[in-house]
Chains A and B, each alone.
Chain A
Amino acid sequence: SQQGEEDPQALSIQEGENATMNCSYKTSINNLQWYRQNSGRGLVHLILIRSNEREKHSGRLRVTLDTSKKSSSLLITASRAADTASYFCATDAWGNKLVFGAGTILRVKS
């Protein structure tokens, strides 16, 4: 079952611009996590936001969570070519596992 769904599927921006990706999910959650995957590699954890948090920052990353709308967004500010990757949201629905969405492919052009 696919809990999280990212939007858009693909995003292409210029270096220096901001990139926003959205994630919607279906059931109540304990926390939501965002991961990055560079081409053909494993995933790297970016940030975790708990269900009682509304916003979290980490460097150039800003994540928001709206549990009433069952949605989250990931904002990357001042994007760089090195940010080119796929980004996945993953939800922990009070179980022993994460459920990943299909991901957003971000391309940052220099």
Chain B
Amino acid sequence: DVKVTQSSRYLVKRTGEKVFLECVQDMDHENMFWYRQDPGLGLRLIYFSYDVKMKEKGDIPEGYSVSREKKERFSLILESASTNQTSMYLCASSLNAGGSYEQYFGPGTRLTVT
């Protein structure tokens, strides 16, 4: 069975802290994505990666960075967390390049920055 896991379901951090969100997929997918989801705004793409050590900015990359050292793992980093980064973060993976294939999502991490 296809599986995408995220390191935490709930996370509370303080303003200014460095935050790591980890995502692991076991499907040998090339593509991995990080989204944030806010009420009324749907999912917005932060970063995506189509190969190891490759990354591309999505629609809202400011304040975030990513790392993909291994094919199965994609990390989202908040260098200095701010209260406006309180959100639900969703990781996804897909086979091959492009959106022509379905994306498989993790359960999400609800991050609160106080």
Q: Which residues of A line the B interface, CB within 8 A? A: 1-2, 30-31, 33, 35, 40-45, 48, 88, 90-92, 94-103
Closest Cβ neighbor of B105 among chain A residues: A42
Residue B56 CB within 8 A of the other chain: yes
Is the pair A42, B4 in contact by a Cβ cutoff of 8 Å? yes
Counting contact residues on chain B (CB < 8 A from A), the size range is 20 to 34
Q: Which residues of B line the A interface, CB within 8 A? A: 4, 31, 33, 35, 40-45, 48, 50, 56, 58-59, 88, 90, 92, 97-100, 102-108, 110
A40 to B108, CA, bound (A): 8
Is the pair A43, B105 in contact by a Cβ cutoff of 8 Å? yes
Residue B106 contacts which of A1, A42, A92 (CB distance < 8 angstroms)?
Answer: A42
Is the pair B99, A2 in contact by a Cβ cutoff of 8 Å? no
Is the pair B98, A96 in contact by a Cβ cutoff of 8 Å? yes
- Shortest CB-to-CB span from B66 to chain A, Å, is 14
- Shortest CB-to-CB span from A89 to chain B, Å, is 10
- Shortest CB-to-CB span from A70 to chain B, Å, is 17
Residue B99 contacts which of A35, A40, A96, A101 (CB distance < 8 angstroms)?
Answer: A96
Q: List 20 A-B contacts (CB under 8 A).
A: A30-B100, A31-B100, A40-B88, A41-B107, A42-B92, A42-B105, A43-B43, A43-B103, A43-B105, A48-B102, A88-B42, A92-B98, A95-B98, A96-B48, A96-B97, A97-B48, A98-B99, A100-B43, A101-B42, A102-B40
Q: Which residues of A contact B98 (CB under 8 A)?
A: 30, 92, 94-96
Q: Which residues of B contact A44 (CB under 8 A)?
A: 105
Q: Which residues of A contact B90 (CB under 8 A)?
A: 42-43
Is the pair B50, A45 in contact by a Cβ cutoff of 8 Å? no
Q: Which residues of B contact A35 (CB under 8 A)?
A: 105
8 further contact pairs, Cβ within 8 A, besides A100-B42, A102-B41: A1-B59, A30-B99, A42-B106, A42-B107, A92-B99, A98-B99, A102-B40, A103-B42
